[in-house]
Amino acid sequence: MEKQNVYGKPVTLGNIVKFAVPTIAMTVFMSFYTMVDGLFVSNLIGTDALSAINLTAPVIQLVTAVSTMLATGGSAVIMKKMGERKTDEAKEDFTFLILVNVIVGIVMCAAGYMAMDAVFAGMNLSADVEGYCVEYLSRYLVFTVPILLMNNFTLYMIASEKATLSLICSVTGGILNIVLDYVFIAGFDMGISGAAVATGLGYSVTAVVGLAVFCRKKNLLHFRKLVFRLKVLANAAANGCSEMATALVTGIITMMFNWTMLAYAGEDGVAAVTIIMYVLMFASSLYTGYSYGVAPMLSFYHGEQNFGKLRKLVWISIKVIAAISGITAAASVWLTRPLVSVFARPDNPVYDLAVTGNRICTLALFFIGFNIFASGMFTALSNGIVSAVLAFSRSFVFMLAAMLTLPLILGVNGVWLATPAAELMALALSAFMFLKYRKRYGY
């Protein structure tokens, strides 16, 4: 069987990289969606509009949080059943979870429209920035269901040995987003709403292709007769709650960053935060892509009780992440000014703020990869509780502590230093959990 050939291969660096590279490339292109919006918006509309994109991020992160929970948690549950040879049951659960995504997407879209005006009215923003926020988010919410399906189909394509197709969808969506950004903003003069529509249509590529792919019965995973198993939904939600926590608290922390920067540097500070987040988002996409790429293998070997392969996969992964960490940190320092200048010109006050911030935040790149992999590993091993503790501590507890103390001592530089400080504390916790559960899982 094709599945046995893929998961039965020896665990070597070459085979792991071959399996994970399409996923890494895919997540990098996915990160480009938001970055491309920022690029066109900042250059064709202005930094006020760029600030608005960041101010809408917490709401968008809520959508991402739910879809990530269902995608990562569901994938781990289903691939574990595949490893246990419960293939029919796994396909029925897959069908059920996709339907859940559609229903959740509709509910979230409606809730977003009802709460949107009140959320931005309470931020004391300038009239222009508040207008940009409402305009961008109102268009973005239209694509809530395709976004949820995109996040899910991305992981299920990988689990179904179609990582290359997933990559092609992401690349196609990214290119479509770039082209439509220019057409809608510069050509049709749609302003910031054009950027939102372009992003939504880019996301929709994977959603449409995924629906077509998983209707075909010859695939490893495909739609079956619907069977409602609420226990499966509960297991998927519990297993993916760590990834949900990461995305959700990222939105909360983004709000804190925005409020703090509004206090210390005004709306220029919010624009600078946006640029720094793009750099961190790009680097994090490498680690996230790798973790997503090897997650089905971890889940499969765990279900198969193949401790030898599981152990080798984990330790090779740690070495790969260490190498990526060093490369991304060096590149971030070296390319700071060129990266920032893409979004803000040197005569713009946002430029100096962002250059300083990026150089300080680069320290976080030495730690982020290990923390992302640790959380993803425990999710793949069906230990959602430990994964949630790691993710929540890293993204919220440690960030909250750093954000409440460092800016009071160091001012704006304290805001930038909060991320590296939180990631360092999270690394210590990840190492502790990794060693504590080493014997239980045999890695």
Query: pLDDT, tens digit, for every residue of 253-268?
Result: 777 777 788 777 777 7
Dist CA 378 CA 392 (whole Å)? 14
Quote the longest CA-to-CA distance of the chain: 62
E runs forming strands in 132-256: none
What are the C-alpha distances in Å from 147 to residues 180, 365, 428?
Answer: 17, 27, 34
**pLDDT tens digits for 356-367?**
988 999 999 999
What are the C-alpha distances in Å from 202 to residues 175, 178, 231?
Answer: 8, 9, 33
Tokens of 44: 């064709």
Residue type, 132: Y
pLDDT of res. 121: 79
Per the CB < 8 A criterion, the answer to whether 398 and 407 are in contact is no
pLDDT of res. 144: 94
pLDDT of res. 387: 87
pLDDT of res. 432: 96
pLDDT of res. 149: 94
What are the C-alpha distances in Å from 89 to residues 5, 186, 238, 380, 381?
Answer: 22, 50, 19, 19, 19
pLDDT of res. 33: 66
pLDDT of res. 51: 81
pLDDT of res. 243: 66
H or E element at residue 135: helix 127-140
Give the residue with greater pLDDT, 76 vs 311: 311
Least confident piece of the model among 112-116, 241-245, 277-281: 241-245
Summarize the confidence of residues 297-311 as an average pLDDT: 86
**pLDDT tens digits for 204-237?**
999 999 999 999 888 888 899 888 888 888 888 8
Residue type, 366: F
186: DSSP letter: I
Dist CA 130 CA 49 (whole Å)? 9
Per the CB < 8 A criterion, the answer to whether 100 and 233 are in contact is yes
Nearest alpha carbon to residue 434 among 321, 315, 316: 315
pLDDT of res. 429: 97
Range of 32-41, 339-348, 382-391, 419-428 with top mean pLDDT: 419-428
pLDDT of res. 207: 95
With a CB cutoff of 8 Å and minimum separation 6, the contacts of 313 are 11, 16, 294, 297, 298, 301, 443
Range of 3-12, 49-58, 110-119, 191-200 with top mean pLDDT: 191-200
Q: Is pLDDT above 60 for 3?
A: no
pLDDT of res. 394: 86
Least confident piece of the model among 271-285, 293-307, 349-363: 271-285
**pLDDT tens digits for 141-179?**
999 999 999 988 988 887 787 878 888 898 898 889 889
pLDDT of res. 220: 81
Tokens of 349: 């006050």
pLDDT of res. 155: 82
* Residue 193 burial (CB count, 10 A): 18
pLDDT of res. 4: 47
Nearest alpha carbon to residue 86 among 409, 303, 248, 338: 303
Residue-averaged pLDDT of the chain: 85
- Report CA 257 to chain centroid distance, whole Å: 18
Residues in the chain: 443
pLDDT of res. 221: 85
Q: Is pLDDT above 70 for 376?
A: yes
pLDDT of res. 343: 80
In degrees and rounded to multiples of 5, residue 384 shows phi and psi of -65, -25
Q: Where are the alpha helices (DSSP H) in 214-240?
A: 230-239
Tokens of 165: 């197709």
Task: Give 440's pLDDT tier (boundaries 50, 70, 90).
Answer: confident
Task: Give 36's pLDDT tier (boundaries 50, 70, 90).
Answer: confident
Dist CA 355 CA 353 (whole Å)? 6
Dist CA 390 CA 387 (whole Å)? 5
For 314-325, letters b (16+ CB in 10 Å) and e give bebbeebbeebb
Summarize the confidence of residues 425-434 as an average pLDDT: 96
Q: Is pLDDT above 60 for 5?
A: no
